[in-house]
Each structure stands twice: as structure tokens, then as C-alpha cells.
Amino acid sequence: MKHPEGLIYSKEHEWAKIEGDSATIGITWHAQDALGDIVFVEVPAVGAEFKQMEEFGVVESVKTVSNLYCPVSGKVTAVNPELIKRPEIINEDPHGQGWIIKIKMSDPAEAHKLLSADEYESLLAG
């Protein structure tokens, strides 16, 4: 399975790792694979606030540009500084070192609206 257990997934191909009221967010293996070589990531400023499924940034690849959607509502507490120098880290390790933002969730219950790894795999299988 290319989409690890322990993470939750959106239908728009973002993942979240929930720890207390904090969520680390990135794009899925499937998303980075479909995009191809990632060359630029636009991220929000620390302190920015987003509602669930609101656009929070953009990822550009050699093929296309794709919007990023926040899987849960909250306030950005960190952005991955490595993405500025090495956006390709998302291709190399999308569920680990390729994380994009961390947020403090304003409504942790929203996480229950997202998909488990098995549910996400089923979505991809169509």
C-alpha cells in the first residue's frame, strides 16, 4: 500500500497526520505521481487560517499546476522550509519529509469526515 495507515485522506488527494489538536498536511503518493516532477510549492504564511477544504496553496510540476486544499480547518503553525530549496522532496517522500504545512485544528471532529487508507485506496480504484 502506497498510502500509509495512521494518516487520513481527502478526496482531493491531501493527507493529514493528526496528533492531538495538530495536523501535519501533505499530498498523497498518488497525487505526486500524477503530477510528475514537482518544481515549485506555494505555501501560506504561518498564522494564516483556513476552513476545511479551502485552498491553501499551489504545487507546480513540469506537467501542470494544482491547488492544495486544507483537509481540516485551522491556523498554520509551521511550513516545511525544505520545500523552498527542494520542492522535489514531495516526490521523494510525500508522506514524510515532503510534508507541506502544520496547523492547529479549530475543529478536530472534522477529521472524522476524511478517509482511512483503505477508503482512499478504494476511491482510487474507482
**Tens-digit pLDDT profile for residues 67-108:** 999 999 999 999 999 999 999 999 999 999 999 999 999 999
Residue 3 has pLDDT above 90, yes or no: no
- CATH number of the domain within which 80 lies: 2.40.50.100
Residue 1 in any domain: the answer is no
User: Does residue 33 belong to any structural domain of this protein?
Assistant: yes
Q: pTM for the complete prediction? A: 0.95
**Cell of residue 64, nine digits:** 501542470
The 8-class DSSP code of residue 72 comes to: S
Residue 3 lies in a domain: no
**Element (DSSP H or E) covering residue 88:** none
Whether the predicted pLDDT of 62 surpasses 70? yes
Domain count, the chain: 1
What is the rounded average pLDDT of the residues 38-51?
Answer: 97
Task: Evaluate whether residue 2 is within a structural domain.
Answer: no
- Which residue segment(s) compose the domain that 14 sits in? 8-125
Q: What is the predicted pLDDT for the residue at 1?
A: 52
| Alpha carbons within 13 A on the beta-carbon side of 83 | 25
Residue range 25-38: average pLDDT?
96
